Structure 1
Amino acid sequence: MPIDMCDQENYVVFLLDEKRYALYLTAVERVVHAVYVTPLAKAPDIVLGVVSLQGRIVPVFNVRRRFHLSEREVHLADQIIFARTERRTVALWVDMVTGVIECDKSDVTHAGDILPAMEYVRGVIQLDDGLVLVHDLDAFLSLDEEKLLDGALEASHSL
C-alpha cells in the first residue's frame, strides 16, 4: 500500500551528549560549523551571544543549559543550526548534526501524551535504535527571556 506523503515528516537530528534531538526540517535554514560567537550583554543566561548570518544578527542559544545538561568544552566539530521560530531566526549550538530522518506522523508520540509538563519538547520519535526528542523551538524562550533578549539586541544595535 503506498504511503501518503502527508503522513510523513522530515526532521534534522542532532546530538547533545550522545542523546538525540530533532527539529522539523521545515524550520531549519542551514547548518554550519562552529564560529566565534560575540557575547551579548544583558541577554538571558541561555544566550551565548550573537553571530551574523548574511548580515542578520542572530542570537545563539546554549541548548545544553536549556535541557539542564552539563557544560563542556567547545570542540572544532561542534555545529550551529540556524532555524526559524514564530518570532525570529535563532541559532542552536549543538555537538553534531547527524542528518535528516523521515518518519510517519504516527511514529511520533505527542509530548503531552507522555508527560504534560515536558517543556521544550513537542514529541518523541521511536526508532528501531532508540528515541529522538522533537524540540519545540517556539517554546524555547519564556516571555521574560524573550523580553530580555529583545532588550539586549536593541541595546547592541544602538552601540
Structure 2
Amino acid sequence: MRANRKRRLIIVLGLVALAAVAVGLTLYALRANINLFFTPSQIAAGEAPHDRTMRIGGVVKKDSVNRDSNSLQVTFVVTDFAKDVEVSYDDILPDLFREGQGVVIVGKLDDSNEFIAQQVLAKHDETYMPPEVAQALKATGNLPDGSVPSS
C-alpha cells in the first residue's frame, strides 16, 4: 500500500513539473513575439529598448517625407507634437500614407535613435486614428480636431 501511494505521488509530481515546463516555454515564446507600443516622447525619454521589435505611433510631420529617387528608401518624421522620431523605411508605402496623417509603424530603434521600419500602417479614412496614437496624442494635449479613435 505504501509503495502504491509513493508511486502515485511521483506521478503527480512529474505531471506538475511537466505542466510547469510547458507553461514556462509558452510564456517565453510569447514574450519574444510581443510588439510593445511607444510614442515619440517615450522614445526621446529613453524608455524604448534598442534592437527590439516594437510599434511606434504618431502623426507624419508635414514637410518631413524624403524619398530616394534611385530606390524605395523613404525617410520621414513621426511626431506626437511634443517630440519627433526619424523613421527610415525601405519598401513601398501604403496608398493612404501622407503627411499630417496618423500612422503606426513596426520596426526597431537603432543606436542613433533612428527607427528602422519593417511595416508602415496608415489610417483608413479621414477621421480614423489608431487607438494607441489617439491616446498618446491626447496625453500630450495634441489630439487633432475631428480625429476619432477606433474602439
Judge same fold: TM > 0.5, yes or no: no
Higher relative contact order (CA 8 A, sep 6+): 1
Structure with greater Cα Rg: 2
| Higher helix proportion | 2
TM-score w.r.t. the length of structure 2 is 0.33
Q: TM-score scaled by structure 1?
A: 0.32
Which has the larger strand fraction? 1
